[in-house]
A and B are shown apart, each in its own frame.
Chain A
Amino acid sequence: MLSVKDFQVAFKTRKGEVNAVKGISFELARGERLGIVGESGSGKSVTSYALMRILDANGRIKAGDAVYSGIDLRRAAERDMRDLRGREISMIFQNPRAALNPIRKVGHQIEDVLRQHARATRQDARKKAIEALEAVKIHDAEARYDAYPFELSGGMCQRVVCAIALACDPKLMIMDEPTTGLDITTQKAVMDLVDGLVKARGMSSILITHDLGLASEYCDRIVVMKDGRIVEEGAPTALLGTPQHAYTRKLVDATPRRGVAIRQLLPAEDRRPLAPHEIKDTPLIEVKDLIKTYQGKSGPVQAVKGISFTIREGQSVGLVGESGCGKSTTSSMLVRLFDPTSGQILFRGADLAQMPAADFARSPLRGKIQMVFQDATDSLNPRHTARQSIAEPLKRMTDLRGAAQAARVEELASLTGLPAHLLDRFPHQLSGGQKARVGIARAIATDPDFLILDEPTAALDVSIQAVVLNLLADLRARLGMSYLFVSHDLNVVRLLCDHVIVMKGGEIVDSGPVEQVMDAPAHPYTRELLSAAPQAPIPAPAA
């Protein structure tokens, strides 16, 4: 149905032409579900954009052929392509909110596609749009027709995007990281839905993702891309079970899953024994009846409803839940950026909640409680070099100046594995993994005892995630810190934490030692979270 041969895509940039896709070939049969897996910069998204001929102005298809049911996608006139998009091939993008027009009702946006391809007339467009919404299992489609994108949740928006993509009965569906940014249970719901529709309508699909687990669950065949080339392809079980190429091996190893230890995520040659971290009996942080109430438009909203827990010295606690469960609010209160409405936060017996967050910046305890942020790009000042970012807490909270300060910055850089020559770069000149290291170096600059990790690897590729998680484990053993690891990904929490707290709707629904909660979950919500996480069919490593 789709046949791609020696396909090459190049971009013109300030530094000359850059080849993003360097000659790939693959075939897609009718009704087949293909997965394209690779890390950022592998050219997987560019391939799909080029097939749809929606590349940026500076990009072009340099060589090769792409034939879809007899139509040459490379040479077809723009008018024919416009006709093809949506009707024959449709696409679901990464960020559903960005893919929808924010100021138009979702129903009208579906009508647009239908009318564009003459699938509906003015009279029956509304009816057909509602049918399209019903097809993606949106409850009360009649009412949702009049909703604006901002009134819908992320999962709901992605369903609407699916409805638009499926409205004209395309034969091929291209999904570009369709569930990034969605909760794990929403991810499962959306993927199950789309997959069901694709199968029921006998469509073909291409799923572009960095998640091997997701690809293996929803694809018949997987191609692995690296640096614009296909390095390996095959059926999911075979490919993941016995990867042939070194890069596939590395990706498979780095995928967090049941039954592996943190060191086993790394390539075999980097697996050095992990120093154990010591957990003492003395409590470091005691949270008692913590409540946070916001003033919403329709009365007060309780984001955190009186939670209590204890983190002991040296212990790593995972805080797990979906967006809106109050885990970010809780961590912001613990790190003293927010004031709780009521409750106590005892740090070695001293109640931090007494001091307003605005004054805590000057407290001597400020340096003892630090945080690594979710998005390394957003958390680094774009105008500061890596050196300035790392030195900032030293300037404000320590007496280190001049050469001593510079030496400390370099020591921190080497601790976090950041090459010294990168210190004078600005954030935009660093890769994702390097930015994560800068963020970690800054957080540990003042020798904190308690570090909050707010999904520190959410924006990273799996292989970089593996390295950063191991770095965090090493630093914990070496510096004796306690962690609060905030995440929605149970597979990752399992690797780093001793104890897990599961939050839902502002309350703690489950907690306990990590093995107990993960392997014998008591609460139904924990079970739901665990079963929603895609499990890659990767055999447990022998070692």
Chain B
Amino acid sequence: MTDMLTDMAKALASTPETQKKKSNGALAHTLYVLRENPVTALSFAMFAFFLGSALFGPALVPYDPLATNAAVALQPPSAAHWFGTDNLGRDVFSRVIAATRLDLVISVAAVALSFVFGSLLGAIAGYRGGMIDTVLNRILDTIMAFPLFVLAMGIVAALGNSVANIIYATAIINLPFYARLVRAEVNIRRDAGFTQAAKLAGNSDARVLAFHIFPNALPPMMVQVSLNLGWAILNAAGLSFIGLGVRPPTPEWGIMVAEGANFIVSGEWWLALFPGLWLMLAVFTFNLMGDGLRDIVDPRRRT
């Protein structure tokens, strides 16, 4: 009887589809995604650059980003000062690179917060449905009804001008998008066969939700996370630009653009251009990364 089963197994195994090489390693899959899509590879390389700037930038930059030197104020870009100098003689290049850390910390922390709490709320609402779902949705609708940037301004103004509060404000305005997305993804899988199978395997509702349903919502979440990182950086820079949040002389892209903007009329374009360019590149990187991240966390992309 056992050999009959093995015979049947052989018959099934000899279809061409099953003869594919197995390539299940997560690393191999990541490499495959990067190789397959040059745009994704480019965005990951740029992200690595920003990450490097954030980690090692302050130690590597040629000048102290805070040191003023009136003798070389408002110099155009040159070999000594690649991005020129500002009105106090600070090196713009050093300041742009040194600002990466703060901007990334704000955006990553804010996105992480909204990811965690948004997922939690959305997953519970999507799984339980009923009253909890309705109440949560109305609360999210209320948050989304505000112009989000104005809401963020209000939160920072009310809580006080600090980096932590910028993070909270950015997290709060992003939270509804995560909660909505997770709710929808969980809801369509609530009665799926594999959910019921997980219950039959002795999983409690909480385990089914956390280990069986939620991971399946990750691929679309990754796109959201990535777009949101860019958004969060813009948001933080925007708040700084209007004078909320980060205060001078701390290097931060938003403030630097705001301060540099005063000098554009008198021809000193480099003060605003380079931090603005870095801001744009960072947002661009995150926007490009989304699809690649999704493909990496989605096992169905593996063949």
Contact = CB atoms under 8 A, between A and B. Distances in A.
Are A and B genuine complex partners? yes
Nearest to A269: B7
18 contacts: A14-B303, A272-B4, A335-B200, A361-B202, A362-B204, A380-B194, A381-B198, A414-B6, A416-B5, A417-B5, A419-B12, A429-B20, A431-B12, A434-B12, A471-B5, A474-B4, A474-B5, A478-B1
A418 B5 CA distance: 9
Contacts of A382: 194, 216, 299-300
B202 A396 contact: yes
A434 B197 CA distance: 17
B138 interface: no
Contacts of A77: none
Given A378-B192, A379-B192, A430-B18, 10 more contacts: A14-B303, A362-B204, A379-B194, A381-B198, A389-B197, A392-B201, A419-B9, A422-B18, A429-B20, A467-B11
B55 interface: no
Contacts of B200: 335, 337, 366, 370-371, 393, 443
Nearest to B20: A429
Contacts of A542: none
A426 B303 CA distance: 9
| B interface residue count range (under 10 / 10 to 19 / 20 to 34 / 35 or more) | 35 or more
B203 A385 contact: no
Contact of A367 (B17, B196, B199, B202): B202
A417 B12 contact: yes
B2 interface: yes
Contacts of A268: none
Contacts of A272: 1, 4
Interface of A: 14-15, 270, 272, 275, 335, 337, 358, 361-362, 366-367, 370-371, 373-375, 378-383, 385, 389, 392-393, 395-397, 414-419, 421-422, 424-426, 428-431, 433-434, 439, 442-443, 464, 467, 470-471, 474, 478
B17 A425 contact: no
A418 B9 contact: yes
A118 B38 CA distance: 49
B80 to A, nearest CB: 51
Contacts of B9: 414, 417-419
A54 B204 CA distance: 47
Contacts of A478: 1
Most buried by A among B9, B15, B212: B9
Contacts of B198: 381, 392
A14 B1 CA distance: 40
A517 to B, nearest CB: 29
Interface in B1-49: 1-2, 4-13, 15, 17-18, 20, 22, 24
A337 B7 CA distance: 36
A442 B4 contact: no
Contacts of B147: none
Interface string B287-303: 00000000000011011
Given A417-B8, A431-B12, A383 B299 contact: yes
A429 B303 contact: yes
B29 to A, nearest CB: 11
Contacts of A417: 5-6, 8-9, 12
Given A379-B194, A382-B216, A433-B12, A396 B199 contact: no
B267 interface: no
A415 B9 CA distance: 10
B26 to A, nearest CB: 12
B64 interface: no
A337 B1 contact: no
